[in-house]
């Protein structure tokens, strides 16, 4: 971990301006998990060898080849995200909910003409629509007393011996303008002290941070597939994802020094908006060597996001016990950059029990160290951090469906491996799901409930030798999905 923190410090010093673009952005937009239809969700996402569901277009495109009829479906989703944070002995939680579209789209199925009955191609399919890949809606609240260090200690390192005119306009300059850091009069070169030094040093502060995030990643898909003799199914999807991400965070410190205090408290506010579009290609195959067995394989290319745009502002205000109040505001930062997410492969199998049901399983491999920021000559240090901090991730999913007349009963489990290298962080998530379905010859209705959870450490700030204890954040997500579909010839 010390090596990673050193690299992050180097990244900060080399870039010279606080930029929102770093390894956290890459992970945020690379680590996706298809939400999809209620049937897909009810099976825990273990759908790579099943097919004939609109979610297949963004998982294993070969699934489009198993459609027997044309189909239209739409899936609204209720999302409930909450986080419980434990920091220096205090536990707090917060949450946020949203209503969104999990997916909507149609697939057209075309049977081979009779005069081509000798062709191995039994049917071809075309599909288009949208799938939701990630929901960012959540709130986090962290609070605890730190008796060891302050954010202002980190600012002293950031400032170094820089002339005040060249301080970072998004953080250290704001601290200078609010007298949270200041230069020592008469020093031969700029030498900074922080506001706690005015009263003999740091003796503890109540630190808190609230983070609210909104937005999503959605993907427009354009897919095609074919059925060869009801034994082999092929598919390809051209994906056009788009990102809409909003984050507002407020960091506060309340001075705990008693009985004499000069600094009472200060607040640091960050607002970030990210917009962008990307492109990827997915291909897949499903084989049915015998009636009771299906196996599938899919490859997802990297997603190439070009000209992502960040709009970023910060502000700071400081309150002093003598009644002084000083606010400061950054300029509006607008940054353009590229992200390449890692490629992934997926292998699947399903055991079919005739008309009674099936059991299916998926394995997915992704190496997050293959992601990168661009242009590479601007982000070479950040990409070094990515290669040192991230690593291979293994995801396992298993699901089952059983039928009774027109009704289906589903359950699933998924384990999404950590994107971090061993010993750097956790980041593993697990999901449990259940679902119900009803099918007639013309329409179908599916419902699913998915509970997901995971833990990840969060540092309020950090440079080498000046880091608070990590906040242990437990993330919980509850998704409820309802799919309505219509089949037609």
Q: Would you place residue 146 in the very low, low, confident or very high pLDDT band (cuts 50, 70, 90)?
A: very high
The per-residue pLDDT for 425 is: 64
Beta-carbon count within 10 A of 445 CB: 14
**Does residue 105 belong to any structural domain of this protein?**
yes
The per-residue pLDDT for 3 is: 36
327-351 confidence digits (pLDDT tens): 999 999 998 999 999 999 999 999 9
The per-residue pLDDT for 423 is: 62
Q: Would you place residue 467 in the very low, low, confident or very high pLDDT band (cuts 50, 70, 90)?
A: confident
Domain count, the chain: 1
**Does residue 184 belong to any structural domain of this protein?**
no
The per-residue pLDDT for 8 is: 37
State whether residue 123 is helix, strand or coil.
Answer: strand
Say yes or no to pLDDT of 442 above 50: yes
The per-residue pLDDT for 33 is: 86
Say yes or no to pLDDT of 6 above 90: no
* Three-state secondary structure of 435-450: EEEEECCCEEEEEEEE
Q: Would you place residue 116 in the very low, low, confident or very high pLDDT band (cuts 50, 70, 90)?
A: low
CA distance 340 to 376: 11
Q: Where are the beta strands (DSSP E) in 165-303?
A: 181-183, 192-194, 205-228, 232-255, 263-290, 293-300
Q: Give the list of residues 6+ apart from residue 267 with CB closer than 8 angstroms, or none.
A: 250, 251, 252, 316, 317
Say yes or no to pLDDT of 294 above 50: yes
Q: Return the higher-pLDDT residue of 187 and 472.
A: 472
Name the burial class of residue 67, with classes exposed (0-12), middle (13-18) and buried (19+) by CB atoms within 10 angstroms of its CB.
buried
The per-residue pLDDT for 108 is: 97
Q: Return the higher-pLDDT residue of 269 and 111.
A: 269
Q: What percent of the chain has pLDDT over 70?
A: 94
Phi and psi at residue 238, in whole multiples of 5°?
A: -100, 115
Beta-carbon count within 10 A of 166 CB: 12
CA distance 125 to 111: 9
CA atoms within 13 A on the CB side of 416: 19
The per-residue pLDDT for 17 is: 37
CA distance 241 to 130: 9
**Does residue 173 belong to any structural domain of this protein?**
no
What single string gives the DSSP state of each residue in 211-231? EEEEEEEEEEEEEEEEEETTT
**Does residue 54 belong to any structural domain of this protein?**
yes
Q: Would you place residue 72 in the very low, low, confident or very high pLDDT band (cuts 50, 70, 90)?
A: very high
The per-residue pLDDT for 14 is: 33
Q: Would you place residue 114 in the very low, low, confident or very high pLDDT band (cuts 50, 70, 90)?
A: low
> In this structure, what CATH number is given to the domain that contains residue 220?
2.40.160.60
**Does residue 328 belong to any structural domain of this protein?**
yes
Contact (CB, 8 A) for 241 and 281:
no
Report the mean per-residue pLDDT for the chain.
Answer: 91
**Does residue 218 belong to any structural domain of this protein?**
yes
Q: Give the list of residues 6+ apart from residue 425 with CB closer than 8 angstroms, or none.
A: 418, 456, 457
The per-residue pLDDT for 158 is: 93
The per-residue pLDDT for 182 is: 94
State whether residue 24 is helix, strand or coil.
Answer: helix
Nearest to 82 by CA among 344, 421, 452: 452
The per-residue pLDDT for 329 is: 97
CA distance 479 to 153: 41
Cα–Cα separations (whole angstroms), residue 320 to 146, 260, 439, 455: 20, 12, 67, 37
Q: Would you place residue 213 in the very low, low, confident or very high pLDDT band (cuts 50, 70, 90)?
A: very high
Q: What percent of the chain has pLDDT over 90?
A: 80
**Does residue 166 belong to any structural domain of this protein?**
no
Q: Would you place residue 117 in the very low, low, confident or very high pLDDT band (cuts 50, 70, 90)?
A: low
Query: pTM, whole model, 2 decimals?
Result: 0.89
Q: What is the pLDDT averaged over residues 157-176?
A: 95
Say yes or no to pLDDT of 210 above 90: yes
Q: Return the higher-pLDDT residue of 4 and 363.
A: 363
Nearest to 399 by CA among 54, 48, 36, 53: 48
The per-residue pLDDT for 4 is: 38
Q: What is the pLDDT averaged over residues 13-24?
A: 52
The per-residue pLDDT for 12 is: 36
The per-residue pLDDT for 261 is: 78
State whether residue 455 is helix, strand or coil.
Answer: strand
**Does residue 101 belong to any structural domain of this protein?**
yes
Q: Kind and range of the H or E element at 6? A: helix 2-15
Contact (CB, 8 A) for 330 and 169:
yes
Beta partners for 391?
none
Say yes or no to pLDDT of 24 above 90: no
Residue 430's domain comprises 2-154+206-488
CA distance 140 to 154: 23
Q: How many residues are there in the chain?
A: 489
């Amino acid at each position: 971990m010390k090596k990673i923190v050193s690299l992050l410090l180097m990244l900060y010093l080399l870039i010279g301006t606080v930029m929102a673009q770093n390894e956290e952005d890459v992970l945020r937009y690379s680590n996706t998990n298809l939400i999809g239809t209620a049937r897909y969700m009810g099976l825990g996402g273990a759908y790579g060898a099943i097919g004939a569901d609109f979610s297949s277009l963004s998982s294993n495109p070969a699934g489009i080849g198993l459609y027997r009829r044309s189909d239209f479906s739409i899936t609204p989703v209720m999302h409930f995200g909450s986080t419980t944070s434990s920091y220096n002995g205090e536990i707090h939680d917060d949450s946020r909910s949203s209503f969104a579209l999990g997916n909507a789209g149609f697939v057209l199925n075309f049977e081979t003409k009779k005069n081509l009955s000798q062709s191995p191609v039994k049917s071809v399919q075309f599909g288009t629509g949208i799938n939701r890949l990630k929901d960012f809606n959540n709130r986090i609240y962290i609070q605890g007393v730190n008796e060891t260090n302050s954010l202002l200690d980190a600012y002293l390192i950031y400032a170094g011996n820089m002339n005040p005119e060249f301080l970072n306009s998004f953080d250290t300059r704001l601290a200078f303008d609010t007298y949270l850091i200041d230069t020592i009069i008469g020093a031969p070169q700029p030498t900074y002290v922080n506001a706690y030094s005015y009263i003999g040093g740091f003796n503890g502060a109540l630190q808190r941070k609230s983070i609210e995030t909104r937005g999503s990643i959605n993907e427009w898909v354009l897919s095609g597939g074919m059925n060869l003799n009801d034994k082999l199914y092929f598919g390809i999807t051209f994906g056009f994802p788009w990102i809409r991400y909003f984050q507002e965070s407020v960091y506060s410190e309340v001075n705990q020094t008693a009985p004499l205090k000069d600094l009472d408290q200060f607040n640091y506010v960050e607002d970030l908006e990210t917009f962008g579009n990307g492109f990827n290609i997915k291909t897949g195959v499903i084989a049915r060597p015998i009636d009771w067995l299906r196996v599938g394989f899919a490859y997802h290319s990297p997603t190439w996001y070009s000209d992502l745009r960040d709009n970023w502002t910060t502000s700071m205000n400081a309150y002093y016990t003598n009644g002084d109040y000083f606010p400061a505001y950054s300029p509006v930062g607008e940054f353009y950059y590229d992200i390449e997410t890692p490629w992934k492969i997926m292998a699947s199998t399903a055991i079919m029990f005739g008309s009674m049901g099936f059991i299916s399983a998926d394995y997915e491999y992704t190496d997050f160290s293959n992601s990168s920021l661009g242009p590479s000559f601007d982000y070479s240090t950040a990409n070094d951090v990515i290669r040192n901090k991230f690593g291979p991730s293994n995801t396992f999913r298993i699901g089952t469906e059983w039928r009774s007349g027109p009704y289906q009963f589903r359950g699933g489990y998924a384990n999404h491996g950590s994107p971090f290298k061993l010993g750097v962080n956790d980041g593993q998530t697990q999901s449990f799901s259940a679902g119900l379905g009803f099918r007639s010859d013309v329409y179908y209705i599916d419902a699913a409930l998915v509970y997901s959870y995971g833990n990840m450490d969060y540092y309020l700030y950090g440079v080498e030798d000046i880091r608070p204890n990590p906040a242990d954040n437990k993330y919980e997500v509850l998704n409820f999905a309802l799919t309505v579909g219509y089949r037609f010839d």
